[in-house]
Each structure stands twice: as C-alpha cells, then as structure tokens.
Amino acid sequence: MKRLASTLIIAFLYVLALEVADFSSSAQAQTGTHTHEVGTAPGRSFKDIWNRDKLTGDWRGLRTDLADHGIDIGIRMSHFGQWVADGGRETTGRYGGKVDYRLNIDASKLFGLWKGFYLSMHAETRFGHDVNAQAGAFALPNTPMLYPQGGSYNDTDVTGLTVTQMLFDGRAAVLFGKVNVLDLVTTLLPQVAYGQEGFWNVNSLVSALPWFRFVNLSVWGGGGWTITEKGQMQSGLIVFGHENVTTSWDIGDSFKDGPSFFGFYRFFYDVGDKPGYLMLCAGGSSKKYTSLDETDWFEVPGEGLDVDRKHHTYDFAAYVYQVFWQADGDDKRRAQFLMGGTVGDDNPNWSNWNIFASVEAFGLMKSRSQDRMGISMWYSALTNDFVNLVSNFDYRARDTWGVELYYNYEINKWLHLSPDLQLVRNNNMRDDLGVIPGIRLVMDF
C-alpha cells in the first residue's frame, strides 16, 4: 500500500509538471513577438490559475473525465507554523506539514454494475515537526499532525482504506476495512472539519479524551448505519479492533482480545427553519486496560508503570448541533453551535467526564462569503484512579481545559490562510497555562 501511495504522489507531480509547462508556454507566448490579452493567451495564464477551483485545474480535462467515470481524486497540502509561546511543557516553535491524498471510486459509474459499491482510500505524507508533545499530555493542539503517526517526522502511509455498500435504495449502508478514525468522526459529525479548515485542536472538534483509551488512530473494523430520506446518517453500529494500524496492515492482533464497539442514534429536528440534531452515543471495549497503558495519540504520564488492576472500559456521550442564523437565500452562510460531552468509568480511563462547546460562523460578512471563524472551549476531568497512580512517582496531575479561536481567510478557492490561538492548561500542575498561537496555509491541488 505504500507503493500505491507513492504512485499517487508521482502521478500528482507529473500532472503538476504539465501545468507548469503550460504556464511557462503561456508566459513565453505573452513575452514573445506576439502579445496576448491575459486570460486568452495559449496555455494557462496566471489569472486562469488564480481563479481555478483547484491549483492544478482540470488536468487537461482528465479530472472531469475521471469523475464522470466514478473516480474522484483529491490532493491537499497543509502547512503549520505553531508555537508554545508561554507555559506548556516546553516553550518552542515548530513547522510541519501534511499532504493528504484521497481516492474515491464509484463502481457503478466505473464498471456499469455493482450499484452502490464504493471504495475509499486516504493516504498521508507527514513532514516536519509539531508542538503536540511540547504542549503537554492531553493538550493535542494540532490534529492533522497526529497522522500518519506522531513522532514519525517524514513518512507516507495509507491511513484508511474502506469499502462501502449501499443497501435498500440508499436507506442503509455497510462498511469494512482499515478505518481512519478522524475520517469516521467527520462522517458521523459533518459539522466537524479535519483540522485543516476549522479548529486545530482535537478537543475543539469532538469529546475526545475519554474515548482515546480504547479508540486508536486507524483500526480494522466494520459496521453499518441507516440513512434518512435527506441522506443523513441516523443510527448505526461500528465494531473495530484494538491495535493501531495507521502505519501497518496487520489484522492478526486487532481482535485477539475481542472487539470494541461504537453505537449511535441521531434525532433530527428544525427550530424554525433552521436544522439541528441530538446524537446519543455509547461505546466500550472487551479488552482489559489500565490507565497507564500506552496509546498512540500522546505520551501518557507514567506510561508503562506496572499496574495490576485491569478493567474493561465504556463511555456514553451526547452531542447537540443547531444552526441559529442563516442568510436569506443562502443557507451556506450561517452560524451554528455544537456541544458535546462524555461520561465514562474511573478506571481505566484518564478522564471520566469531558465537555466541549463551539460556535462557528460561515460567511458572516457577505463580502467574505467563503471565510469561516470559530471559538471553542473544553474541560476534561481526570479520574481519581489516574491521578492517584501517577502521584506514586511524584507527578501531580490536574484537570485539563482550553480555549481556541481561529479565522479561516479565503485567499482564493484553492488557497486558505488561518491564524489560530489556543490557551491550554495541560494535566501537569508544574506547567503554566500554555499560550499557543499558530498559522495554517492550506492548498487544494
């Protein structure tokens, strides 16, 4: 699968080279013996490139042709400059980035048969560094840089590969494969971005910390869900393995201790003419953990310390989403809030309850209809079991909380710039409040 990801990268570079060649030809044509008006010159002018939906355009018609035949390719590069300016575990700055390659295949369009069958792949290249470790445990200020795997500073891997079959004329679906958990979250909660459009911090996106005891970055799993007449996921159950397979394909150990599960049901409603929903969730694991077992999301204080008490784990969560403002005649220009909370067991979770709330506005100003902005706040209460365990080696733990603000400025359709500011209190009493500013540049190819 790494070879497949490498092939996608090579193909992308080849297409980009063609576009550069076209642009060079256009520039030569405009500076040669014949001059042409910008936008009508042979090849591609700078104005053409600036006004495209994607930087590399339609690939001489290939992109449209592929889409018509059920093959959709998305390529996005994200750059992150982020600093722990004060407090946290260590005051420092880091630069890093990601390239995300997404391939979606509709078998009915591609082969003319097998209606409702889809294949989806997500490959990622990670380069440079982030400040996730420097901000402190449970802070998680940069979601995208957790993949393919934190600490692997230059790597390319396929982090998700799933097949989906629609059933009952699109009223239900089943899925199986290597599941990228953050992709699953953005499917379940369409209002949540991947850390490249809206909030950066994991805690701003979802009620995360209690679930990370038994949910990994990428997992083998499968399940199904029902779909409303409007195409919204309403209820479902996902069963998945325990092992993190973000950078591997080993399915053998995933279910050796039994499965984990996640179930949900969503109630849809309108307040006036503005949509909203309430989603109830439950999850748990058959595997027995301690609160000091390692995880791939972050470094756990006291990780690896021998603890005899092992327990199953469970969590219950609720989310409320509501649009509270919409522009007349344009429902894409809106303001919304999303609230969520989780309660779970005292052992082996790190946190037995968590709550977050966010408010976001899309196109608040008519003249900046594609900009978005938001503010989020969260609080995670650490379990007594975890606090007592880490106190055995002189580590004084405390509850964590944070605030995040961002503004996503659209430079053009394929280029967005987002300043971000986070105030995060990590779980170490010896660390001061972390002040974490950042700047993000996202390019769609």
Buried b (16+ CB within 10 A) or exposed e, 417-432: ebebbbbbbbbbeebe
Query: What is the C-alpha R_g of the chain?
Result: 23
Average pLDDT, the chain: 88
- When pLDDT is averaged across residues 186-211 and rounded to a whole number, the result is 91
Residue 66 host element (H or E): helix 62-68
Residues 178 and 158: beta-carbon distance below 8 Å = yes
The pTM score is 0.87
* pLDDT (tens digit per residue) in 262-293: 999 999 999 989 999 999 999 999 999 888 88
Residues 6+ apart with CB under 8 A from 140: 132, 146, 201, 202, 203, 208, 297, 298
For residue 32, pLDDT beyond 60? no
Rounded to an integer, what distance in angstroms lies between the CA atom of residue 23 and that of residue 21?
A: 5
Q: How confident is the model at residue 307 (pLDDT cuts 50, 70, 90)?
A: confident
- Residues listed for the chain: 445
Q: How confident is the model at residue 11 (pLDDT cuts 50, 70, 90)?
A: low
Q: How confident is the model at residue 135 (pLDDT cuts 50, 70, 90)?
A: very high
> What is the reported pLDDT for 168?
94
- In DSSP terms, 343 is beta-bridged to 316, 353
- The top-scoring range by mean pLDDT among 2-16, 25-39, 58-72 is 58-72
Q: How confident is the model at residue 36 (pLDDT cuts 50, 70, 90)?
A: very low
Residue that has been written with the tokens 């150990």 in this structure: 253
- 3-17, 320-334, 344-358, 388-402: range with lowest mean pLDDT: 3-17
Closest residue by Cα to residue 368 from 311, 411, 315:
411
- When pLDDT is averaged across residues 124-129 and rounded to a whole number, the result is 94
* pLDDT (tens digit per residue) in 226-267: 999 999 999 999 999 999 999 999 998 899 999 999 999 999
- When pLDDT is averaged across residues 313-321 and rounded to a whole number, the result is 96
Closest residue by Cα to residue 300 from 292, 312, 308:
292
* pLDDT (tens digit per residue) in 44-61: 566 788 889 999 999 888
Spell out the CATH class of 52-444. mainly beta
Higher pLDDT, 51 or 399: 399
Residues 6+ apart with CB under 8 A from 57: 19, 44, 48, 49, 63
User: What percentage of the chain reaches a pLDDT higher than 90?
Assistant: 69
- In DSSP terms, 235 is beta-bridged to 226, 265
Closest residue by Cα to residue 102 from 84, 121, 89, 85:
121
For residue 173, pLDDT beyond 50? yes
Q: How confident is the model at residue 154 (pLDDT cuts 50, 70, 90)?
A: confident
